[in-house]
Structure 1
Amino acid sequence: MKEKLWTLKFITLILSTFMLFLGFQMLLPTLPVYVKDHGGDSTSVGLVIGMFTITALIIRPFAGSAADRMGRKPILLIGLLITVISIFSYIIVTTVLLLLLLRLVHGLGWGMSTTIYGTIASDIVPSDRRGEGMGYFGLSISIAMMVGPLLGIWIMNVFGFFILFLLSALFSIGSLLLSNFKIYDSKGNNPRPANTRPFLETLFDVKALFPSLLMLIIAITYGGIVSFITLFAEEKQLDNVGWFFFANALCLIIIRPIAGKIFDRKGHFLVLFPGGILGITALFYISYTNSPIDLIVSAILYGFSFGLIQPSLQAWTINRSSPEKRGAANGTFFSAFDLGIGIGAILLGAYANFTSYSSMYKLSAFIFVIYLLVYGVYIWVSKNKKTSNKSVKRTISS
């Protein structure tokens, strides 16, 4: 009999995560416009997005390690407080330089809180339903991705940036309040005995490195999407770019539970390989976009691609790690995600400055090809190892 998945802890965790990501997603398509309005170019936009992810990257391993040693709750609350204060501070920032500095601080809070939410999810979800459970957990993020950008763009256009930043901060406060309810697993929230492992081993989980590498590669393309799709649409004179985010997130919502069940029953190949093919197709399609319909079609393709890959890689990461290193494993995984977004935002933004957004998305499609090559090498090496081990066993037995 399967363990119960939909507990009060799990539902409250999903709601709390949704509130945090909703406030965050409202800023994704609007901050590039804010930077442009204050005299920034594509490189400046890339830096504002990229530097945020760099500080999140730096803090995640420490947050995951601290969560394993001190418990989940104190690290989560500190991260959420930093997030709330940072978003409120956007209201008084008027220059690109100050915004960049504030984004560095915001990245610390974001990195801490999202790492711990993912760790709490891995504590709560039954091990035999991990792919399915992490898929449903990811729905809270996907729904925020669907609603947040549309809401953010509408508020920006109708009420301006003051109200936008205020509401974003209020949603983060909602996440902070909900996080004080019963979302903590009794084991995961207890400080663990003193660890005798070297300090660096508590920060990263070696077993999480390969799926995290794949996530890093995919996240580079995601950095190009979230940083520049609004400006790309403006360049092409396409209205209502919010529908790109809506369609993309709707497809994430549809595919995540399906991907999770396939992962649990059949393994990672049947989700990670098709996801890569869809990603290549999506980014080439974006590069040739000339109409709102083209933009929505590309969003659908990219949504299915990302929805197949991201939750499956996270579940694979957790499956490869031991319970006492889940915080470190999640920190490793999300650090790779952040690093990829940062690389994508900064390098692809600089590339777009010298070429065009269309050329930039063609380059992003090639990055998906690299993902498939790396994953293909892993499959080939794994099969050869299994064959070699079987041969050795036959030789010993004979």
Structure 2
Amino acid sequence: MLQKDKLWTKNFVLLTFSNLFLFLAIEMLLPTLPLFADEQGGSGSQIGLLLGVFTFSAVVSRLLIGIGLRRFGKRKMLLIGVVICLLGMAGYYAAASLSALMALRVVHGFGFGIATALYGTLVSDAIPATRRGEGMGYFAMGNAVSFSVGPMMGLWLLEQYDYLGLFGAGVIFLFITLVLTLLVRQPRTHVGVAAVSEAAAGLEQKASPLSEVLEVKALVPSILGSLVGFAFGGMLSFVTLFSKDIGIEHTGYFFLVVAISEVLIRFVSGPLFDRKGPFWVLFPTAVLCMIASVLLYFTDSMGMLLLSGVFYGAGFGALFPALQAWVINLVKPERRGVATATYYNFFDIGIGLGSILLGVVVTMTSYTTMFLLSGILYVVFLVVYFAYLRRSAKAEG
């Protein structure tokens, strides 16, 4: 029996847990920062902008990843991103006006964009190629855990300790993130090769400015990721309001079920990706997301809502890391930073557009129609994916 390449190395564990604390600090602000802005006198549209400016700032920062990698390298760029996040979080203490809060969200988003792209890049370097799907799945569990625990923790901290305790906890989480990241080391045997590769990449990028902000080889999975993000943005923005509208309380259980389902599916989807390839994960999990959307359309009880959460968590929980692993497999090691940034940017742009455009759909029709339209997006996902597979088969033939 062949021995598997080692996955749970020191670097992998450090990067996985530091990524978890980074996302916990972000997710705990989702339900609480709008309350803070409201107390500052913010209108509904201004409160909505808090998410928008954060996302836009993250996208802009990732466009500069290629330049930053040439100048500082992967580890230093990651540390810069984490430090900026820490400063942004600490700055919320001094946010005496809505304009100051908006400015801090820009700073925080800028650091978050850098950090998320570089965590994905460095962890892909730490994962053996033969176990990339499995490793990316475990790494992304931090996102799933923070998705359920973060909002509940943020509301509890706000209730128990007011905003001082909320922002203080965020600073502590990001300080832990910084300490764990400082402990990350790349293998000595790879330093020389990495230096040569990054220097070569720098020469290549000078000849092609576009390559500093976009990895063309990652476009197809990134476009698919934007479709997933588009549908996810609608669900994230409106499932709570939908539940309230039909008389269902304690919607937090929905997010908890989604997170549990996300975690459990990755014990299956990651190894399946490594053994069989992307198709055997992307196709069935896109179908699971379709089923979840249809279930939301028919939901009229807590049981139906939680059942849709099971399907949505399993589908989204496998799709996101599988697409990211596919992106990493498509590019050379020195291009992983830009490729990961490309993927995250498309995904975040999808979330932003989904929140806005599907919100228009809700205004013009209903929540249930919006959920059904979200399901159709996964049909588009499969159409684009099958078109890519057909074109690839023709090129190889």
TM-score, normalised with respect to structure 1: 0.88
Which residue number in structure 2 is paired with residue 71 of structure 1? 73
Moved more, 265-274 or 182-191: 182-191
The residue number in structure 2 matching 1:22 is 24
Deviations 1:212-234 (A, max 9, x none): 11001101112223333333333
In 2, Cα distance between equivalents of 1:118 and 1:280: 27
Give yes or no for the alignment of 1:331 onto 2:341.
yes
Gaps of 5+ in 1: 390-398
Is the 2:63–2:341 Cα contact (8 Å) retained in structure 1? yes
Instruction: Give the Cα–Cα distance (whole angstroms) in 1 for the partners of residues 343 and 69 of structure 2.
Output: 15
1:280–1:366 CA contact under 8 A, matched in 2? yes
Distance 2:369 2:159 in 1: 29
Which of 112-121 and 69-78 deviates more?
69-78
Q: What corresponds to 1:50 in structure 2? A: 52
* 8 A Cα contact 2:70 2:199, kept in partner: no
Return the structure number with greater relative CO, CA threshold 8 A, min gap 6. Answer: 1
| CA pair 157-353 structure 1, distance change in 2 beyond 3 A | farther
* 1:11 corresponds to: 13
Would the aligned equivalents of 2:137 and 2:318 in 1 still touch at CA under 8 Å? no
Aligned-pair CA distance for 1:181: 0.6
- Tell me, yes or no, if the aligned pair for 1:57 and 1:338 is still in contact at 8 Å: yes
Q: How does 1:85-234 map to 2 (within 5 A)?
A: 85-93=87-95, 98-186=100-188, 187=190, 191=195, 192-193=198-199, 195-197=202-204, 198-234=208-244
Letter in structure 2 aligned against 1:278:
L
How do 1:234-245 and structure 2 match up within 5 A?
234-245=244-255
Moved more, 201-210 or 95-104: 95-104
Cα shift readout 1:158-183 (whole Å, capped 9, x = no counterpart): 54444323322321121112111134
The offset of 1:64, in angstroms, is 4.6
> Separation in 2 of the partners of 1:351 and 1:33?
26
Shift of 1:146: 2.9
- Render the CA deviation track for 1:256-297: whole Å, top value 9, x for unaligned: 131111111111111111111111121232244333333222
User: Which of 374, 380, 388 is matched with 2:384 structurally?
Assistant: 374
Q: 1:141 to 1:184 in 2, by over 3 A?
A: farther
Q: Shift of residue 370 of structure 1?
A: 1.5
Deviation at 1:50, TM superposition (A): 2.8
Kept in 2, the 8 Å contact 1:125–1:133? The answer is yes
Q: Whole-Å Cα distance in 1 between the matches of residues 310 and 165 of structure 2?
A: 30
- Report the residue type matching 2:110 in the other structure: L
Q: CA RMSD in A?
A: 2.5
From the superposition, tell whether residues 100 and 361 of structure 1 become closer, same or farther in structure 2 (CA, over 3 Å). farther
Structure 2 distance, partners of 1:199, 1:58, is 15
Q: Counterparts of 1:99 and 1:356 in 2: how far apart (Å)?
A: 32
Bigger shift: residues 260-269 or 183-192: 183-192
Tell whether the 8 Å contact from 1:53 to 1:107 is kept in structure 2 after alignment: yes
Matches of 1:162 and 1:65, distance apart in 2: 37
Contact (CA 8 Å) 1:50, 1:343: kept in 2 or not?
A: no
> Which 4+ stretches in 1 moved above 6 angstroms?
none
How many angstroms apart in 2 are the aligned matches of 1:39 and 1:45? 6
Matched residue of 1:22: which SS?
helix
Q: CA deviation at 1:11?
A: 1.0
Change (3 A) 1:355 1:83: farther
- The aligned length equals 386
Given that residues 82 and 108 in structure 1 are in contact (C-alpha distance below 8 angstroms), is that contact kept between their aligned partners in structure 2? yes
SS at structure 1 position matched to 2:182: coil
Using a 3 Å threshold, how does the CA distance of structure 1 residues 301 and 97 change in structure 2: closer, same or farther? farther
Q: Does 1:274 align with 2:284?
A: yes
| Residue 109 of structure 1: how far off its partner (Å) | 0.7
Distance 1:274 1:334 in 2: 22
Partner of 1:298: 308
Question: In structure 1, what residue type is equivalent to 2:316?
Answer: F
Tell me, what secondary structure is at the counterpart of 1:196? helix
1:179 is paired with a residue whose SS is: helix
Supply the distance in 1 between the matched residues of 2:245 and 2:167 (Cα, whole angstroms): 25
Post-superposition Cα deviations, 1:26-74, rounded to whole Å, max 9, x if no partner, equal 1234445556675543x55543323321221121132255235531222
In structure 2, the CA distance between the partners of 1:32 and 1:351, relative to structure 1 (3 Å rule), is farther
1:46–1:227: 8 Å Cα contact kept in structure 2?
A: no
Q: How does 1:345-384 map to 2 (within 5 A)?
A: 345-384=355-394
